[in-house]
């Protein structure tokens, strides 16, 4: 019996209808498998990260085994005299330096200065092993130093750590110079929130467009002092220097810790007055102008730098009250040092430093300015980026630079991770983490 055209069409379309649930079933099975694999891979990454980042220890205790010998400098190494008035007094350049590298304070720029000086003079660095920091946020221990042996003596220590004075003191000669750098706590908090916020789980609760403002409206609602990476978002300076960042501001220990920092450190630089700080550092260490030349490293592009309003600035300062007290103290002592140095002399030397930096900018930097990460042509010049964004600027080295400046230009522009590798540091954990991030496009 012949079928009508409509009946034929109906018979032809029925198999397609019956196949639809099967296709959907396969699609859902594929998605389920992807989710399971993703969960397993994420668990592996968390396990790896928990190994790479040690647990946080809030108590300060000696971490070097009993009987470990302190630094024993060779008898042939004369101690550099303390300059009464810097280079004007005919002093000898100081080569034994501890730089307590704080976070988000232009410390990467200062680190580059120390790398160059140490490399130029063949000095011995105390480097971390496997990573670019000393198992931060755990307290520093001598045993964390690459190729450490009891009694070993080093010229320069300068990588990120959570400061432990006795452990550091045992690695350098008695006359070593201790320095660190501070920053306005509200500005530092904003920078740290931007850079580290994605790896602080309690910030994941923030749902608004402006997460920083949302957090500062009621920080106690979100902040968990025992939360993973919580230290990045409250009194980070106090924490880096080895103190309890959740200490009661009314405790007398706060002022005791501040005075202890003053006793231990020969110079506390200020990020907001970086050039003036470098002039004081140059004077203290009896260095040459070339030794403190710099390009700004690890800086964010302007569009990634939100401006704290007056109210948010006040709230950020109040939230970081321990850092605020620390900063006020050393801001005052900084200007007393400038007064002793001489304001006119300071103005002259700052101007000379800026002229020399400008000259090097014209010699070294292609285009004369920093560029977005996507515009950096040489991977050796690519800075480390925060998770989920490429907001850190870098540089392109000029193609044709005279022999006199070629080496200096490259060193001045090399980011921290690449410079550490150039200096022979074992960074297997950092390299592995970078491979995973590149693969996942984080």
**Among 422, 431, 424, residue whose Cα is nearest residue 384:** 431
357/371 Cα distance (integer angstroms): 18
CB-based contacts of 259, cutoff 8 Å, min separation 6: none
Q: Is there a cis peptide before residue 393, judged by omega within 30 degrees of 0?
A: no
Listed residue (408, 293, 275) closest to 347, CA to CA: 275
Residues contacting residue 353 through CB under 8 Å, at least 6 positions apart? 275, 278, 279, 289, 292, 293
Contact present, 96 and 114 (Cβ < 8 Å):
no
| The 267-270 sheet, strands edge to edge | 125-126, 156-157, 97-100, 177-182, 267-270
Task: Evaluate if residue 182 carries a pLDDT over 90.
Answer: yes
Task: List pLDDT tens digits, range 373-411.
Answer: 888 898 888 887 666 676 688 899 999 999 999 999 999
Give residue 186's pLDDT band: very low, low, confident or very high (50, 70, 90): very high
Asked if pLDDT for residue 78 goes beyond 60, the answer is no
Q: Give the pairing of strands 267-270 and 177-182.
A: parallel
Distance CA 77, CA 74 (A): 6
Cβ within 8 Å of residue 11, ≥6 positions away: 3
94-125 pLDDT tens trace: 999 999 999 999 999 999 999 999 999 999 99
Least Cα distance to 168 among 146, 147, 139, 135 occurs for 139
User: Each residue of 322-336: pLDDT tens digit?
Assistant: 999 999 999 999 999
**pTM as predicted:** 0.82
Q: What is the pLDDT of residue 124?
A: 97
Nearest Cα to Cα of residue 188 among 219, 233, 231, 241: 233
Q: Give me the count of residues in the chain.
A: 442
- Per-residue DSSP letter, 286: T
Per the CB < 8 A criterion, the answer to whether 286 and 91 are in contact is: yes
């Amino acid at each position: 019996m012949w079928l009508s055209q409509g009946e034929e069409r109906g018979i032809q379309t029925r198999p397609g209808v019956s196949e639809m649930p099967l296709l959907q079933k396969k699609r859902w099975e594929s998605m389920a498998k992807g989710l399971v694999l993703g969960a397993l891979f994420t668990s592996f990454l968390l396990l790896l990260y928990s190994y790479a980042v040690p647990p946080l220890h809030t108590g300060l205790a000696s971490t070097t085994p009993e009987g470990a010998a302190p630094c024993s400098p060779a008898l042939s190494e004369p101690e550099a005299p303390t300059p009464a008035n810097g280079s004007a007094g005919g002093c000898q350049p100081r080569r034994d330096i501890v730089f307590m590298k704080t976070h988000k304070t232009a410390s990467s720029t200062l680190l580059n200065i120390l790398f160059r000086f140490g490399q130029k003079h063949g000095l011995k660095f105390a480097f971390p092993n496997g990573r670019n920091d000393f198992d931060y946020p755990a307290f520093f221990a001598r045993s964390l130093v690459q190729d450490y042996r009891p009694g070993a003596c080093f010229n320069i220590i300068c990588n990120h750590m959570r400061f432990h004075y006795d452990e550091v003191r045992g690695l350098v000669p008695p006359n070593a110079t201790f320095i660190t750098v501070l920053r306005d706590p509200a500005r530092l908090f904003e920078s740290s929130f931007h850079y580290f916020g994605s790896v602080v789980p309690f910030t994941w609760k923030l749902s608004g467009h402006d997460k920083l403002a949302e957090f500062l409206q009621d920080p106690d609602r979100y902040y968990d002092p025992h939360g993973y990476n919580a230290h990045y978002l409250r009194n980070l300076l106090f924490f880096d220097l080895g103190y309890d960042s959740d200490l009661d501001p009314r405790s007398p220990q706060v002022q005791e810790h501040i005075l202890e920092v003053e006793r231990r450190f020969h110079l506390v630089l200020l990020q907001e007055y970086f050039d003036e700080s470098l002039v004081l550092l140059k004077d203290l260490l009896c260095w040459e102008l070339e030794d403190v030349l710099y390009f700004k490293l690890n800086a964010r592009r302007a569009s990634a730098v939100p401006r704290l309003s007056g109210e948010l600035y006040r709230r950020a300062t109040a939230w970081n009250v321990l850092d605020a007290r620390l900063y006020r103290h050393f801001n005052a002592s900084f200007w007393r040092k400038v007064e002793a140095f001489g304001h006119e002399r300071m103005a002259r030397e700052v101007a000379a430093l800026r002229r020399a930096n400008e000259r090097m900018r014209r010699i070294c930097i292609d285009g004369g300015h920093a560029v977005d990460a996507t515009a950096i042509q040489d991977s050796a010049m690519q800075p480390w980026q925060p998770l989920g964004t490429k907001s850190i600027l870098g540089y392109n080295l000029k193609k044709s630079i005279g022999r006199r400046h070629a080496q200096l230009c490259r060193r001045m522009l090399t980011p921290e991770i690449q410079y550490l590798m150039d200096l022979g540091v074992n960074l297997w954990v950092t390299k592995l983490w970078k491979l995973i991030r590149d693969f996942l496009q984080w």
